[in-house]
Amino acid sequence: MTAPIAIIGTGIAGLAAAQALHKAGHSVQLFEKSRGPGGRMSSKRSEVGSLDMGAQYFTARDRRFVNQVQQWQAAGCVGEWTPLLYNSNSGVLSPSPDEQIRWVGTPRMSAIGREMLGELPVEYACRITEVFRGTQHWHLQDADGRNFGPFSHVIIAVPAPQATALLATVPKLAAAAAGVQMDPTWAVAVAFDAPLQTAMQGCFVQDSPLDWVARDRSKPGRDTTRDTWVLHATSTWSRQHIDLPKEQVIEHLHGAFAELLDCTMPAPSFTLAHRWLYARPVGGREWNTLADVDLGVYVCGDWCLSGRVEGAWISGSEAARKLIAQLE
């Protein structure tokens, strides 16, 4: 029997690769350091319902991804979100409608990861720290010293700084990944018992610590009685306040939100903060995927393309396509 293919990371890139390989008849084994799939496109369960703390929505511009989104829609895990959009520039808030189609996971962002994973085998709470080659095959070691393998090939589907650490045995790929810087994002969720007096459901923000604001419960299928909002800080503010305690981050961003709406905002009845250390790649690339086909190591993720959900999906799919072509 041929050894399976190891995939490190169950974000959308790793899952896209896993799905394509499985469909082509190859056996895969996934590894994930968290307790569930989805990565930056997952949601957090809370007492006020699930909250999308990472990816807020996604657009589909590439034909292949458009087809995939249609399949997700048919499976019921994706719906269109048509928020009343605003724009805030130098403190001036104005409606900013457009024609862009925006998609979200339903009833929560993480529904897509669950749908993609299906019954594929995954080892959760397993942070891979080393990827090494034996005489013929690849092996992995995790932070608890456990060994996994043998594997015929390895796909590394994690943010660039984390990929660099796993590519010690493939210096050329490690150097490429090391050249990609990723910026952090502080994300805060706030909930109010009584709805805020605004029609706004999403807002692109300039000239503020905030970059983006979304009325989470305006997304399709969200089941909550409270008025839930997700606030994202800019990369610059997040970098400058990277080690600020969560309570202070909440206070700052809640204050910036009140300033944005230009109102005396009630104290939220629920708050939550999450720090994404590797939220978005600085600059865009057109790599699709990185690979050393002779060694059998493939690298994918949003940072190989556009730094968006669509880019991550294409990158993972391309890694699988390249590997399948090698095996034929």
Residue ranges in contact with ligand NAI by CB under 6 A: 58-59, 85, 87, 96, 98, 100, 185, 204, 211, 232, 279-280, 307-308
Q: Name which of 110, 106, 135, 103 is nearest 32 in CA terms.
A: 110
* List of residues 6+ apart from 209 with CB closer than 8 A: 233, 234, 237, 252, 253, 256
Q: Is 159 in the site for ligand FAD (CB under 6 A)?
A: yes
Element (H, E) at 188: strand 182-192
Q: Is 302 in the site for ligand FAD (CB under 6 A)?
A: yes
The two tokens of residue 252 are 């700052």
Element (H, E) at 164: helix 160-166
Q: What is the DSSP string of 202-254?
A: EEEE-SSSEEEEEEGGGSTT---SSEEEEEEE-HHHHHHTTTS-HHHHHHHHH
CB of 143 to ligand FAD, least distance (A): 8
Please identify, using beta-carbon distances, which residue of 128 and 189 lies nearer to ligand NAI. Answer: 189
Please identify, using beta-carbon distances, which residue of 25 and 145 lies nearer to ligand FAD. Answer: 145
∠ CA 34-173-183, rounded to 5° = 55
CB of 14 to ligand NAI, least distance (A): 17
Pairing of strands 138-142, 102-105: unpaired
**166 class by beta-carbon count within 10 Å (0-12 exposed, 13-18 middle, 19+ buried):** buried
Q: Is 41 in the site for ligand FAD (CB under 6 A)?
A: yes
Q: Which of 20-28, 55-63, 72-80, 216-224 is the region at the interface with ligand FAD (rule: CB under 6 A)?
A: 55-63
Please identify, using beta-carbon distances, which residue of 48 and 81 lies nearer to ligand FAD. Answer: 81
Among 88, 162, 201, 234, the residue binding ligand FAD under the rule CB under 6 A is 162
Q: Is 301 in the site for ligand FAD (CB under 6 A)?
A: yes
Measure the CA–CA gap between 83 and 218, rounded to whole angstroms. 7
Residue 100 binds: one of ligand NAI, ligand FAD, none (C-beta under 5 to 8 A by kind): ligand NAI
Q: Is 174 in the site for ligand FAD (CB under 6 A)?
A: no
CB of 95 to ligand FAD, least distance (A): 20
Instruction: Please tell me whether residue 102 adopts helix, strand or coil conformation.
Output: strand
* List of residues 6+ apart from 225 with CB closer than 8 A: none
The two tokens of residue 243 are 């080690």
Please identify, using beta-carbon distances, which residue of 252 and 322 lies nearer to ligand NAI. Answer: 252
CB of 232 to ligand NAI, least distance (A): 5
Please identify, using beta-carbon distances, which residue of 61 and 172 lies nearer to ligand NAI. Answer: 61
CB of 211 to ligand NAI, least distance (A): 6
HEC profile of 116-131: HHCCCCEECCCCEEEE
Please identify, using beta-carbon distances, which residue of 97 and 134 lies nearer to ligand NAI. Answer: 97
CB of 328 to ligand FAD, least distance (A): 25
Q: Name which of 220, 158, 180, 186 is nearest 34 in CA terms.
A: 158
Q: Is 201 in the site for ligand FAD (CB under 6 A)?
A: no
Which residues make up the interface to ligand FAD (CB under 6 A)? 8-14, 31-34, 39-41, 54-58, 127-128, 157-159, 162, 185, 187, 232, 276, 279, 301-302, 307-309, 312
